[in-house]
Amino acid sequence: MRSLSLFFSLVLCAGQLFGGVYYESTMSSQNPGQQGDVVYRTKAWVDGDSARVLFEGSNNTMLGEGNYIITRDGGTSVFLVNPTDKSYCAFSLDQVFGMLNSMSAATGGMVKISFSDGYAKQLASAPAEPLLGHQTTKVTWESGFVMTTKVMGMKHKTKMDTTTEAWIAPDLKDAGFGIWLRKEPPKTGNAELDKSLEAAWGSVDGFPLKTVSTTTTTDKKGRQKRSTSTMEVTLLRQKATPENLFIIPSGFRQVSWMEMAGGQAAGAGQGGEEGEQENPLKHGLKGLFGG
């Protein structure tokens, strides 16, 4: 009887663990001429449609130290959780462009942002060297658009052209990988441009273990700046995962995306000179864009 009881106890304990994957990654953005680089270090757990990505050592505000994103449905619903404030909000990288587009309403029409002249094309796809013991396919894309900003009637145009190289592991199938190891760009909100980007990226099986994106921005006077963003998975292994790792703790309150961005930036601004006000979107937007 004791042996039988022990057996059932082990079965019940096993039922509380998922047979998942654990990985660690780094992402950095180098912007010559600007002070400091944006750097993320993450620890992540994935099992099927469920995933949790914990941010460590980040100098970004919204995705700062100890914050994490989770999903239980393959990325259809993703939440950004701040355990310090015991709060969470719906999260998507696509919301960044959406936030830019919504700034017009928030500023009473004084700021308007639009995208035009978009293009995207796949340049190459070929077998590449293994990474972390996984076979990879290297895919190279080019994409770009013109972003027009109107501030109180003054128009500014910036042309952005990006070359992206991705080393994709076809055997990484779990949808949960996609909430951080993205192989496609975020949506801009411009239907024609988004359709062009989607067609160029096509259907590539698996998820990237390394991505290098080089972006050249050109202003209306022809002046150019170049920045490089690199994401690389540094550790990947099988690891049983507790089910509660993918659940928002009870008692946490839901807030809006804007409240999360504003509150986090305000916290980061503490300790500055008295009376100094910091733009609540500065860290959230620049960090997410790799600025």
Name 172's Cβ contacts closer than 8 Å, sequence gap at least 6.
134, 181, 206, 207, 209
pLDDT for residue 13: 40
E strand segments, the chain: 17-30, 38-47, 50-56, 68-71, 78-82, 87-90, 111-131, 134-151, 154-169, 207-219, 224-242, 253-254
Q: Residue 119 contacts by C-beta under 8 Å, 6 or more apart in sequence?
A: 142, 143, 144, 145, 196
Q: Over pLDDT 90: what percentage of the chain?
A: 47
For residues 98 and 140, which has the higher predicted lDDT (pLDDT)?
A: 140
> Quick one: CA dihedral 48, 54, 59, 63, positive or negative?
positive
Torsion over CA of 166, 172, 177 and 181, rounded to 10 degrees?
-10
What's the average model confidence in pLDDT over 206-232? 93
Predicted local confidence at residue 64, as pLDDT? 81
Residue-level pLDDT at 98: 54
Neighbouring-strand partners of residue 90:
79
pLDDT over threshold 90, residue 183: no
Judged against a pLDDT cut of 50, whether residue 271 lies above it is answered with no
What's the CA gap between 184 and 141, in Å, rounded? 10
Q: Which of 288, 270, 271, 243 is nearest to 20 (CA)?
A: 243
- In the structure, what pLDDT confidence band is assigned to residue 261 with cuts at 50, 70 and 90? confident
Q: What is the pLDDT of residues 237-250, one digit of tens each?
A: 999 888 899 999 99
Secondary structure (3-state) at 284: helix
In angstroms, what CA-CA distances link 284 with 196, 237, 265, 291? Answer: 27, 31, 8, 10
Report residue 140's pLDDT band, with 50, 70 and 90 as the boundaries: very high
153 secondary structure, DSSP code: T
Could you read off the pLDDT of 9-40 as tens digits, one per residue?
Answer: 333 343 344 569 999 999 888 776 665 566 78
In the prediction, which pLDDT does 55 show? 93
Residue by residue, DSSP assigns 27-55 as: EEEE-TTSSS-EEEEEEEEEETTEEEEEE
Show contacts of 282-287: CB within 8 Å, 24+ apart: 283/60, 283/61, 283/62, 284/60, 284/61, 284/62, 285/96, 285/99, 285/100, 285/261, 286/38, 287/38, 287/58, 287/59, 287/60, 287/61, 287/62, 287/63
What pLDDT does 259 receive?
83
Question: Do you know the residue count of the chain?
Answer: 291
Report whether 135 contacts 170 (CB < 8 A). yes
Say how many CA atoms lie within 13 Å of 225 toward its Cβ: 11
